[in-house]
Amino acid sequence: MYAGLAYILWLVLAPSRQTPPDTVPAVVREAPSDPDADRLNRQLLDAHNQARADAKLPPLTIDAKLTTAARRHADDMAEQEKMTHEGSDGSTPDERVKRAGYHYVRTGENIAAGQSGVDQVLEAWMESPGHKANILGPFTQMGAARVIDESGEPYWCVEFGEPILRLNPAEAAAKAVENLNAARKEAGADPLEVDAKLAGVARKMAVAAAEADTLPPEKADQSEKPKLPDLVQLLKQAGVPFSKLNQSMASGNPTADDVVESLLRNEKQKEMLLGPFKTVGIGYANGSDDTPFWCVLVVEP
């Protein structure tokens, strides 16, 4: 039916400020009945890693959650007898990956139908610029599956991903301060000194932002979301004096490098963060879906 076809790639990047998609009811099916599923997954991994090695890129590893997402979608395509990135329930690749419990910085999907084996399907993907970009893309993990429909037609699906890693809050904050001071040095500004009390307030703000942004769907109405603490009140309670204050909040930035670069791309924030402040406190926290939240406070006593 789709002999030798490889369909459009799907690539999703997590935005710097993430808004979770509407919840799509999960349609959970049994794993495909292919008795060689695990062996085939390993062969697909090896083939992908050979292509990456030829391009001098680091290898991918198999992730169980991505494999689950790939198997479910390959099974779904076989049941529909249709090669498509859209699930029978209207789901998109990123929704299916999240549904499998995989929290990502970026994700991508390659699908195909009709190829008889691993070599044939990889060759088809590598001849397509979009699919090749996924295979050689900035991912660290993959999961793959092939499901054969009742007529004998094989359907292939590979899910790629780079997971969000939960950082140590203290180490993340220290690295962000280091990066911020490097930018200040380059701009000719004096380095900021870390204030432990200010850092404690920043951490509370980051935790509160993470909790407020990751409520369950039935409580996601803005009117029901808890308000962030009063920053000035927190500073007073912590005994942090200030004559001038700037607060920068960010979410979705997975590392200290990313968050500092993102904030400094905003001209207003750049002016403040490189401005005449003396002390700094940075907080980091994760939401229930691993989304990172940051709070950067700079103060002039």
Task: List pLDDT tens digits, range 175-196.
Answer: 999 999 999 999 999 999 999 9
Q: Mean pLDDT, the chain, as a whole number?
A: 86
Amino acid symbol at 176: A
Confidence category of residue 61, pLDDT binned at 50, 70, 90? very high
- pLDDT of res. 27: 33
Residue 84 in this model has a pLDDT that exceeds 70:
yes
Which of 16, 4, 19, 10 lies closest to 214 in space, CA to CA?
19
Closest CA to 160 of 37, 7, 9: 9
Q: What is the largest CA-CA distance in the chain?
A: 74
Read off the pTM: 0.72
pLDDT at 28: 34
CA dist., res. 111 & res. 83, Å (int) = 7
**Are 96 and 15 within 8 A, CB to CB?**
no
Of the pLDDT bands very low, low, confident and very high (cuts 50, 70, 90), residue 116 is: confident
**For residue range 246-299, what is the model confidence (pLDDT) as tens digits?**
999 999 899 999 999 999 999 999 999 999 999 999 999 999 888 999 999 999
Radius of gyration of the chain from its Cα atoms, rounded to whole angstroms = 23
- Residue ranges and CATH numbers for the domains of the chain are 5-163 (3.40.33.10), 169-300 (3.40.33.10)
